[in-house]
Amino acid sequence: MRLFKDGELQHTKLFYLHSILESSFALIWIYWVVFLMDQGFSFAVIGIALGLNGLSMTLLEVPTGALADAFGRKASTILGYIGFASVLLIIPSITDPILLIIVFTAWGLPVTLISGAVEAWVVDNFKAVDREDLIDDFFAKDQSINMLGFIFASIMAGLVVKYWSMDMVWYISGISMLATLPILAMQKEHHVPTKMNLRGTMKQTGQNIREGARFSISDKQVFYILLAMIFIALSGEFIMILRQPYMEVMGIPREFFGYITAIGAAICVGIPFLAKAIGQRAKKKSVYLAVHTLIFGLVMVIIFFVDMAWLAALVLIILSIRWSTFGPIFEPYFQNILPTEIRATMGSFKNMVFAIGLLIGDVVISLFTDSMGPGNMMVIGGLLVFPAIVFFLMAKN
């Protein structure tokens, strides 16, 4: 069995190379919440900071996506990574809650410059050379490559924390992100927007926003998918923020955080291909997504009955494969519905509603986690994902 199709690497090798290098040094995601807690920030402060981050993403997603459609996906992506890396380098020096909230709010801008633009860049590159057959493969392989790199990052993060400090995981992540940008700079962008002056660009951006909003409401399949993504994001935020505090509550040593994450990442290297194979056999991708949501929602609810550290680690490993079995099916399914002219705009509409879900999750977490504890809150997160099942089933293929 060949790993790559004929001519595939000609169009994807730089994207794949960037993915594995970026993920190999993305150390912060293993310890970022416990780092903020060590800095003296409560769940309430962290929740407010993340909530305003989600709000800024909600407000900026569509304008930045529309701007990427009008001005160029490549430029938007690279500029976003520069801003993202700059924030990573600033955060270790922050001890004031107000400053933390300001920086997290500003962090929404670079995130939105990247989101939507990257997927549109890749998909339209394939369409421009009549290689739509590579779209499904790309999203599965890119997810797998990211997880392959994340194995290294997880092990490295554990060693850095054990023998150095948690500050270093931020610096390593930020510097490495900047170092990988020349790879993206060499990647071609086949979708070239019509050249126009600033006034014309802003006019086109506004038109893209209106077209995206009209399409989101009028196309019922897209409409129900976007509603489902709110609850997917809401539940996922509980996992993202609370998994590290939950491990501490269950008595798992901090140096093991990275090793547990590495085990999950290792499983995720092969899982996207299994998900792709199952998804291709599913007559309705929306049914696959509904069943997927049900299974992982139930896994989160099971946390209520977990009382041993090794069992808690096992549940978290299972939850770590959640996106690797979701993304490779969802992204091609969603992208295939979208018109080329507003692809990045629609990707940003999707990310906007995702950000709304994150915002709701952040508010709930900030209000109740200090009193209820991370374990009970993760159970609630599992229950809150169930409406997404209904919306996926309402979306037609």
Mean pLDDT of the chain: 86
Measured between alpha carbons, how far is 93 from 115 in angstroms, rounded to an integer? 27
Within a 10 A sphere around the Cβ of 142, how many other Cβ atoms?
23
Please report which confidence band the pLDDT of residue 293 belongs to, taking 50, 70 and 90 as the band edges. very high
CATH class of 8-185+198-394: mainly alpha
Looking at the predicted structure, is the pLDDT value of residue 196 above 60? no
**Tens-place pLDDT, residues 321-338:** 898 889 888 888 887 877
Q: Which of 57-61, 73-77, 302-306 has the highest mean pLDDT?
A: 302-306
pTM, two decimal places = 0.74
What average pLDDT score do residues 316-321 get?
Answer: 92
Domain ranges of the chain: 8-185+198-394
pLDDT band of residue 385 (cuts 50, 70, 90) is very high
The arithmetic mean of pLDDT across residues 340-366, rounded, is 80
The residue with tokens 């979208």 is 338
Mean pLDDT of 282-299: 90
Higher pLDDT among residues 194 and 264, named by residue = 264
Highest mean pLDDT among 46-55, 64-73, 300-309, 366-375: 300-309
Share of the chain above pLDDT 70, in %: 93
Q: How confident is the model at residue 285 (pLDDT cuts 50, 70, 90)?
A: confident
- Please name the residues in contact with 2: beta carbons below 8 A apart, sequence gap of 6 or more: none
252: left (phi over 0), alpha (psi -120 to 50) or beta: beta
Residue by residue, DSSP assigns 179-225 as HTHHHHHHS-----PPP--HHHHHHHHHHHHHHHHHHHHH-HHHHHH
pLDDT value at residue 135: 82
Q: How confident is the model at residue 259 (pLDDT cuts 50, 70, 90)?
A: confident
